[in-house]
Amino acid sequence: MRVILASGSPRRKELLKSITQDFEVIVSNSDESFQEGLTIEEQSKRIAYLKAKTVFNQTQGDRIVIGADTMVLKNGAIYGKPKDKKEAFQMLSNLQNDMNEVLTGMSILIEKDGVQREYNDYDIGKVYISPMEDKEIQNWINSGKAMDKAGAYAVQEEFGKFIEKIEGNYATIVGLPIHKVYQVMKQYL
């Protein structure tokens, strides 16, 4: 069975390796804009689905295609990937010295012996970030590692020194709820 990750994220690739080493990556480049009238959980699942569906439609045969989307949430505000360093600084200024939620939606589309199935779900974790000085925020941004991450931070990078604690699944916070992905995939591998 062919396994395809519909994401160019190196973090998701590393997480998927805990299930299987035998997979390929096809980046979807699908539309990630929000659809009016959906909850944030529905938005995340929808975007993950669009990523997976784009790649699923480009491929054939027995396959498992995995899409995911991660957002950081705090007090009703959504923190995606920052557009520039200024926005990254603003995000981290808002997120530090407090708790935020990390929501990762997932979509797994499967075709086996001509039968198609889909699994759409999400998981949420909480991240508590220590107080940070402006200089510490700027140093992290200048490392170049803030720009491709929701909320402009990464618990698995050196930013981890600012993480007081997490509640929930670590992999969900990194970008792929691997415990949920595994429960689906083990039926087919």
Nearest to 95, CA basis, from 83, 117, 78: 78
**Residue 33 phi, psi (nearest 5):** -75, 155
| 132 in Cβ contact with 97 (< 8 Å) | yes
CB burial of residue 122 (10 Å; 0-12, 13-18, 19+)? buried
| 92 in Cβ contact with 72 (< 8 Å) | no
Q: Are strands 63-74 and 98-112 parallel, antiparallel or unpaired?
A: antiparallel
| 4 in Cβ contact with 63 (< 8 Å) | yes
**Residue 45 phi, psi (nearest 5):** -65, -40
Catalytic (active site) residue 69:
yes
DSSP states of 36-86 as a string? Answer: TT--HHHHHHHHHHHHHHHHHHH--SSEEEEEEEEEEEETTEEE-S-SSHH
Q: Which of 69, 84, 113, 123 is catalytic?
A: 69
Which of the residues are catalytic?
69
